[in-house]
Each structure stands twice: as C-alpha cells, then as structure tokens.
Amino acid sequence: MKFGHEYEKVLASEGFPKQWLVSAIDYKFLKKCIKKIHKELQELGLDAQTIQKLSDPWDKSRNGAAKSAAERHDFYSAQPPHLDAIPEEFTPQLRVLVDRRTYTPLDATLAPETRQNLQKLAQHEVITAEHQAHWQQHARDEAPEQSQDPELHQEPTLSEPIDPKNVTWLQIPLASAKYFFDLLGPKLQELEQLREAETLKLEEEILELGARVEDVVEPVREGFEAKRRVSYRDLYFWREMFRLYLENPVFYSHHEAKPGALTFAEAKTRLQAYDQQLRQTGLLGKMKTPAARIAAKQFLDLNVSILKIIGFQEMNAEAMRKILKKFDKRTHLEGQHFLADLRTKYPALLPPTATTTGAAPATTVNTKPCCTIGFANTIAHDMYSEITSKILGIVPQLDDWSCPVCLEMAWRPVSLGCCRALYCIRCIIRLQDDETKRCPACNAETVLKADARNLNFEAMDFLEKYFPLETKKRQKENETASLAREYGEEFVKPGCAVM
C-alpha cells in the first residue's frame, strides 16, 4: 500500500511529460490483478500455502535430500515449457501431477475440497498423451519443463512407489495470471521504446549544444577578433565550469571506491550541488557573450532533463520489482521464470547481477528478482559518455595536457617518440642532467637521445591557443629555471632582480 501511494505521488509531482505517464507501470491496477489471481486460485482451493506445500515439503518428507532440485517439481510445476525458445507464448499454467484413473493429485497433503476441485478440472481435460516407450531413459535427463507436448504431458518420475503409467500432468490454466503478464509485458516494451526515443532526443540535443559550445569557446585568432565578439576569457569560464562537472560527475561515478551509475536521488543532490557551485563562483554571470550564457543555461537544462528520465525509469523499475515480488508472495506461482524471460529480452532492464538462476531452475519462490535500477542504469551511462565526449571534450582540460613528471602543463612539449606521453622541455632537461636513460612513462631508453627535433610543435600550437594564460606563466617559470640551471640557485633567489 505504502509504495503504491508513494509511486503515484512521485509520478504526479515530478513534472514528467504526459506521454511518459502513459507508459508508466500501472501499479495499482496490477495489484488488483494479483488480488484476482489470488481469488481465482482460492476458488480452486489452491491458496498460497497449498501451492507452497505442493511445491515444497512433499519430496523432503519422502525422499529426503537425495533428490535434485530439478526433480523436486515432479508433482507440481508452475512453469510453462520452453520459455526461452517461445517467449511469446507464455501462459502461466499450474501443472499438478495426478493419478490417471482417479484424477486424485499425488500429493497427500492437499485438503479434500482441493482434491475435488482438481478432479473436476481433470475430467474436462482431453487426454491425448501417449505413453513414452522409454520413459525411464528420459527420466534422468529430462526436467519436467522439457516436454514436447506442452498441453498434456506424461511425466516419468524416479520415485518407485508411483506407477508412471497411472500418472499424468494436469494443466490448470490461470486466466488472471495470464492477464497480469499480458499487461506487464507490453508495458516494459513501451518503457524500452520510451528509453530509446528519449535517448535519441537527448543525443541530438547534446550534439546541438556541442556545436554551440564550440562556437562560444573558440579562442581568439588573428583577424577573427573584430568579427567575433568572443573573449578568450570565456574559454576559461567554460573550462572551469566543465572541470567542476568532471570533478563530480552528476550521473556516473568514476570513483575508485564506488564506480558505476548513480541512483536518481544521488544524481539529484549532485546536480543541485553543481548548480550551487556555479552560483557561488558566479561563473554564469561572468560569461561575456549572450550566446555563452544561453549555451550555459542549455547545458544545465540538458542535465535536468536527463535526470528526469532517469528518475522516471527508476521509479518504474522499482514498481516492477515490487509488483513481481508481490505476485510471488501472494500466489507462489514463480514469476521469476517470466522475469528470466524478460531479462533475455531486455538485458538493459535487468542487469544480470545477483540472481543468475541458471544453476537451479526450480529454486523456491523467495529468490529475489533483481532489477536494481532498470533502464535508468543504461541511460545514466550512455548520457554521461555522450556528454563527456561530445560537449566536455570541446574544451580541453589542463589535466589532459600535463607533463607526467611535474604534473603541470607541458610547456614546449616534447615527444620522445617511444610513447604518446608529452613532457615539458624543462623536465626532459632535468632528466638528462640526472642521466636518466629511460622514458618515465614507458621505460624505453629514449631520454638521452632527445634534442630539439623532439619538440612537438603541433601540440605547442594547440596549447598556446587553448591555454594562453598557462603558457605565459610556464614560460616565465622556464626562464627562471633555465637561469638557475646555468648560474646556480642563488642567482635567481627572490630579491635579486635581474634586469
């Protein structure tokens, strides 16, 4: 009850678009559906406890632990045959093993009225199954669900006292349960479609914004200055803005302790914190051109819309998890088989983390379905990589151009030719003074061979263009270091002005 309430409240209050709400999982209705199934089963005399009894204690009392998990369901099965092969034809059915002549279920623990009901049902069934000649050979390698005839099947069992010739599977069709799954299946499809559509839309938005940002941060070049009213300082504001964003990614954590997609609530607080940070530093206000301001606002809006879709999908995944759990609890009909089927259909929806039930197909009902955060997971991941590659990548960050030795911007960048590392010329000179032979990054013996030809002019131009302030600063530092190297530390001590 509590969750249903909360779910509706969130759906109504978070301001989701109308067409999303149509695709949302109808939690209340599904709950009613479960009630119906429950009632239907009760009319048959099969309440949850009976079903559980049917599936569980029978074998334990008779054969002890000798029987394998797969054989446990010899007398009872809620599972339709060949789920993976024909997922569309999934109809929940209850199968009870009954005596062929009397149609009495082979379970001694059933209540008398339940037996009667089942007998009645069984008499309506058309019995078409033929005896399998070599049933005993099949017995070992054929699990109950692997029958060729899904309607009526003669199940060989290993237990001695029961004569297999007198035993047959009785199918009890469950109309309401079918209805339940019929409702749930298409809903998931809708959600998947919604995810695809929204992802596409957001990707387009990201591309558009990328173009805008590119236009705004393009550093001043000769001749352009008059025409384009873009100050190179805007570049620095954007860089700072993106640096903050990268430092604490809103949707995806690269933190070594806890990597992976973040939940809606976490993402929300992070986005709020980011917004706060931008306000406090006054970065938005400092932007020079109106175009830059518009783009910045767009960037924030984009994040908000991604957050929204993540929240929506997460709510739905939670609703789905809860409803399936409820389904299991009320009916003991083992909804996981349905879930397993869904998992193969929508791998994105249910990342196969905790319960990979491949080893034990007949596990009891308390196996929890695992849909951690559903579609939200993939959205967070996809959008984060889109944003980083298409938008943040436009503004180069200093960290990507720092020398691995001094961790500062590689001024007069040197490529040693052995690997892709860029060093400052100053650091390479120091390494050569120390007679270090090997490249710090890849250990190739290239350091001592380096000379002026190793200067990477392409990178130098790039850095001068995108990091004009840092370049100037590094240039000064380099001059000081060069003097210190030639004339000794004392020469450049502060207070000693060299004109």
Partner 1 sequence: MAAPLPKRIIKETERLQSEPVPGISAEPHEENARYFDVKVDGPSGSCYEGGEFQLELFLPDDYPMCPPRIRFLTKIYHPNIDRLGRICLDVLKNNWSPALQIRTILLSIQALLGAPNPEDPLNEAVAKQWKENQPEAIKTAREWTTLYAQKK
Residues in contact with partner 1 by the rule CB under 8 A: 247, 255-257, 404-408, 421, 427, 430-431, 434, 436, 438, 440-441, 443
* d(C-alpha 216, C-alpha 197), whole Å: 29
| Cβ at position 191, least distance to partner 1 in Å | 35
Complex with partner 1: residue 1 or 407, whichever CB lies closer: 407
| Cβ at position 405, least distance to partner 1 in Å | 4
| Cβ at position 54, least distance to partner 1 in Å | 43
Complex with partner 1: residue 134 or 258, whichever CB lies closer: 258
DSSP state of 41: H
* d(C-alpha 313, C-alpha 346), whole Å: 14
Complex with partner 1: residue 257 or 359, whichever CB lies closer: 257
* d(C-alpha 4, C-alpha 32), whole Å: 12
Q: Which stretches of 218-253 are DSSP H helices?
A: 224-227, 232-247
Strand partners, 98: 105, 168
Complex with partner 1: residue 158 or 406, whichever CB lies closer: 406
| Cβ at position 442, least distance to partner 1 in Å | 9
With contact defined as beta carbons under 8 Å apart, do 145 and 80 qualify?
Answer: yes
Structure tokens at 279: 């306000």
Complex with partner 1: residue 140 or 254, whichever CB lies closer: 254
| Cβ at position 264, least distance to partner 1 in Å | 24
Complex with partner 1: residue 138 or 430, whichever CB lies closer: 430
Angle at 24 between CA 20 and CA 27, to 5 degrees: 160
| Cβ at position 429, least distance to partner 1 in Å | 12
DSSP state of 56: T
Complex with partner 1: residue 99 or 408, whichever CB lies closer: 408
Put residue 250 in one of left, alpha, beta given phi > 0 → left and psi -120 to 50 → alpha. alpha
Q: Which stretches of 133-174 are DSSP H helices?
A: 135-141
* d(C-alpha 195, C-alpha 348), whole Å: 10
| Cβ at position 278, least distance to partner 1 in Å | 19
With contact defined as beta carbons under 8 Å apart, do 184 and 87 qualify?
Answer: no
Complex with partner 1: residue 159 or 402, whichever CB lies closer: 402
| Cβ at position 400, least distance to partner 1 in Å | 14
Q: What are the residues whose beta carbons fall under 8 Å from the beta carbon of 444, sequence distance 6 or more? A: 416, 418, 419, 438
Q: What are phi and psi of 295, to 5 degrees?
A: -65, -40
